[in-house]
Homo-oligomer: A and B are copies of this chain.
Amino acid sequence: MPNISDVARRAKVSRTTVSRVLNGKDDVNEETRRRVLEAIRELNYRPSALARSLVKQKTDTIGVILSDITDPFFSRIIQGVEDVAHKFGYGIVYASMRWDPQIKHNYVNFLRSGRVDGLLMMGHTVGNEDYVREMVEERFPLVLVEYWINNLKANFIAIDNRGGGYLATRHLLGLGHRRIAHVAGHKNARVSQERLAGYRQALAEAGVSYDESLVVYSDFTTEGAIPVAKKLLSLPERPTAIFAANDLMAYGVIHAARELGLKVPRELAVVGYDDIELASLVTPPLTTIHQPRYEIGSMAAWSLIQQIENKEMQPTVTEFKTSLVIRESCGAK
């Protein structure tokens, strides 16, 4: 790969002049510029982003760390992030940590060591995440999505997960269900705890006592939810409704029910969470919790870029609300 010196030599100018042309400065003689551009083309020269970033201390790249890149929940969020980032001239780097706190930490270190100007993190794990605190203290540009940590002066895009869990459960209660099970998300995920908390809150308000045996954990995938759903549905006193912590698992629940010969929604009501694109399009259309995902993504990216380009920005907490979308999986319609 040719470098800037090769170009300079060929164009018979100094490296500085080549650099000027490269960066579109206007204090370059037209004829000189022409020669430089020609040399660049002839050599098929491509400036090293690495070297440039090193000297400018800027990579024009933002890192996105998420729990699972294959989760359709992220698809619209990512679109929002990409649209905004591109508009501002940033590239994006994704890292998928699969709910593994160790992989997550590794990726944070990987990306932080000069590879990106800032970090967008979504999919928060349980446990020691002091390094997140450190990043905030060191004023490393950072946006945390989905969650909100007390006493941490950072930029948050919060989603009302507890409220969502509450809405979902109350809907089932309103339909007369009393024996309502919950297929929770990944044990390592904070959102699991929050949605579970919303579920418990709704039960408590309705005077339904909490039955631990009705709550099982899975991993936010359809395949993972099937066995645990079967366990729930084989309980001596079978639940009449199940709230799944995301849509993929809701389909796992429905699949399990079908295998056991139960009709949804007649014999089992199911509520999901996320409102992924497919939720309205497959059978049965899913009653679920909707979140403004595109807006969340674009807002997160915008907020991060603001931080990067203006270090003085105040940390803010933006909370997005969720809403219940009633379709056919609980027979309410």
Contacts and interface: CB of A to CB of B under 8 A. Distances in A.
A110 B49 contact: yes
A66 B283 CA distance: 30
A113 B69 contact: no
Most buried by B among A47, A96, A282: A282
Contact of A74 (B70, B107, B114): B70
A113 B46 contact: yes
Interface string A179-198: 00000000000000000000
A114 B48 contact: yes
A314 interface: no
Interface string A136-175: 0010000000000000000000000000000000000000
Interface stretch (A75-83, A230-238, A266-274, A301-309): A75-83
Contacts of A112: 46
B96 A93 contact: no
Nearest to A280: B255
Contacts of A74: 70
A50 interface: yes
Given A69-B78, A96-B78, A113 B282 contact: no
Contact of A277 (B69, B93, B113, B223): B223
A222 B78 contact: no
A94 B91 contact: no
For chain A, which range describes its interface: under 10, 10 to 19, 20 to 34, or 35 or more residues?
35 or more
Nearest to A97: B82
Nearest to A112: B46
Nearest to A71: B75
Nearest to A91: B110
A256 to B, nearest CB: 10
A226 B282 CA distance: 12
B113 A96 contact: no
Given A75-B70, A91-B95, A94-B94, A113 B48 contact: yes
Interface string A107-121: 101101111000000
A304 to B, nearest CB: 17
Contacts of A258: 283
Given A114-B48, A115-B50, A252 B277 contact: no
B82 A78 contact: no
Contacts of A221: 277
Contacts of A316: none
A278 interface: yes
A258 B283 CA distance: 10
A101 interface: no
B283 A283 contact: yes
Given A70-B74, A283-B283, 18 more contacts: A1-B138, A44-B134, A44-B138, A48-B113, A50-B53, A50-B115, A61-B115, A69-B75, A70-B78, A92-B95, A93-B94, A94-B94, A222-B277, A254-B283, A278-B278, A282-B282, A282-B283, A283-B284
Which 6 residue pairs of A and B lie closest in terms of their CB atoms, listed nearest first?
Answer: A70-B75, A50-B114, A49-B113, A283-B283, A48-B114, A94-B94
